[in-house]
Structure 1
Amino acid sequence: MTDMPDAPANPLLKKLPLIVIIIVAILGAYFLRDYLTFEALAENRETLLAFRDANYFMTVLVFIAAYVVIVAFSLPGATIATLTGGFLFATFPGALFNMTAATIGATAIFLAARWGFGESLGKKLENAEGTVKKIKDGIDENQWSMLFLIRLVPAVPFFLANLIPSFLEVPLHRFVISTFLGIIPGSVVYTSVGAGLGEVFARGETPNLGIIFEPQIIFPIIGLCVLAALPILINALRGKKGL
């Protein structure tokens, strides 16, 4: 079960959603790189706050929609969007808005890639032999652990964390749940940084985006990574004992 709808028979139509995402991502990287920046947020902060105060629920809907588009089309500015969520809505519910939007956007990429390439690639891996087959089986046996691991490790690009599961026949519901829960640590950290942007703006400084790598932040995340990887290690040890 992959929780996926039937794809059209035309190969081009199957690949069209992912092709559109790639084209928009390239155009966005070129045309939007100067707009989705910290400087742009600082210059427009008073306008954004005034709009939020006058239209709170509309601001929430517009923010989530914009964040979904940024993630779904891999546009520059995802980190700035996360900071904006904290700046406008505080750590909570800002983190919840950020995680919801990021999960929806990630799911869009996952579905586009699965629809266009993932199903055929998954079948090829399933029918493979030797080492490739062993790797595929190992991933299948530890899907939850692998999914949480690639979300928790800061070094894994978000875009790749969306694509990899689409090629490995990961069920949609499993992808959505692991994405939403797996991005909680990073989302909360950066949303909290965004919540403190008022003071940063007042001092004329820029936020410390490297905070996630500071000991008090990174060590708990490493601990979560170890917990996520533990079932994989246990299964590997059991496999060796069975040889």
Structure 2
Amino acid sequence: MSGNCNGGMPEPGRWHFVPLAIVAAGLVLGYALGWHQYLSLEYLGQSRQALKAFVAANPVIAPLGFVVLYTLAVAFSFPAASILTIFGGFLFGWLFGGVLAIVGATVGATIIFLAARTFCSGYVRERVGSVATKLSRGFEKNAFAYLLVLRIAPFVPFFIVNIAPALFKVRLRTYIVATFIGIMPGAFAYAWLGQGCDSVLIAARNAGQQATIRDLVTPQITIAFVALALVAALAAVVKKAWISRMP
């Protein structure tokens, strides 16, 4: 292997772990500061009034802040995408909240993509063996369709899909568009679930009671779970088709 990476960059041994180190540092810092405690349904239930009030008082800052938070969570691979999407539906409604989640997830994923592509993608590709060969063939045949399948079907971890295209010279525009479209079904389903949780909490508050599991069985929640089931079924179909076409 040559001494330098693409574009005459310094030795791979000095630089190829930089993105991973930054992600790991961000995760450690987040957990050390206890940020994960705020990314839970328990916190959402306890702070729903304060969060709603903040959103109402800050119609511009609140959605922008949510997108930034979502972007950082994805960029640092924090395992909170589903919860944050539920937060989005809860605070902004299923449509607007879903769009905000999609934008945040796409921007965060793009940051990882650019980082992986910049820091010696060839070095990493040479060390993932036969898996790299199979993925490269898929991306070479039709990068957009292949990446779209990987986004829709959650049988491949989100973090892996964020990085893999960078190893095989997928165009930035192709990556962004396929990511944006591919995460739509799951994002809107979870956002709808968040909006349904909002209605349950409001009803419980008006009745002077605490919401129970039985209260969650509402038509809106049922529709949300049906939507999630359809997404899972679609993923299963896509996975089967993807495997059958593997080179």
Do the structures match in fold with TM over 0.5? yes
Higher relative contact order (CA 8 A, sep 6+): 1
How far off is 1:17 after superposition? Answer: 3.6
Looking at structure 2, the residues matched to 76 and 199 of structure 1 have their Cα atoms a distance apart, in angstroms, of 26
RMSD: 3.4
Partner of 1:241: none
Unmatched 5+ stretches in structure 1 = 237-243
Q: Is the 8 A contact 1:144 1:174 kept in 2?
A: yes
Unmatched 5+ stretches in structure 2 = 1-5, 205-209
How far off is 1:190 after superposition? Answer: 0.4
Q: Is the 8 A contact 2:16 2:123 kept in 1?
A: no
Partner of 2:159: 159
TM-score, structure 1 as length reference? 0.77
Partner of 1:18: 20
Residues 67/138 of structure 1: CA separation in 2 closer, same or farther (3 Å cut): closer
Looking at structure 2, the residues matched to 215 and 18 of structure 1 have their Cα atoms a distance apart, in angstroms, of 33
TM-score, structure 2 as length reference? 0.76
Q: Percent identity?
A: 31
Matched, 1:218 2:232: yes
Looking at structure 2, the residues matched to 23 and 190 of structure 1 have their Cα atoms a distance apart, in angstroms, of 28
The count of residues paired between Structure 1 and Structure 2 equals: 225
Looking at structure 1, the residues matched to 157 and 46 of structure 2 have their Cα atoms a distance apart, in angstroms, of 28
Q: Give the 3-state SS of the residue equivalent to 2:37 in structure 1.
A: coil
Partner of 2:46: 43
Partner of 1:204: 211
How far off is 1:212 after superposition? Answer: 6.7
How far off is 1:21 after superposition? Answer: 1.4
Residues 227/103 of structure 1: CA separation in 2 closer, same or farther (3 Å cut): farther
Residues 153/205 of structure 1: CA separation in 2 closer, same or farther (3 Å cut): farther
Partner of 2:78: 75
**Deviant stretches of 4+, over 6 Å:** 206-210
How far off is 1:133 after superposition? Answer: 5.2
- Structure 1 segment 1-243 matched on structure 2, within 5 A: 8-9=9-10, 11=12, 12=14, 15-29=17-31, 31-122=34-125, 124=126, 136-201=136-201, 202=204, 204-205=211-212, 211=225, 215-222=229-236, 225=238, 229=242, 233=245
Partner of 1:240: none
Q: Give the 3-state SS of the residue equivalent to 2:169 in structure 1.
A: coil
How far off is 1:186 after superposition? Answer: 0.5
How far off is 1:183 after superposition? Answer: 0.3
Which deviates more, 159-168 or 177-186?
159-168
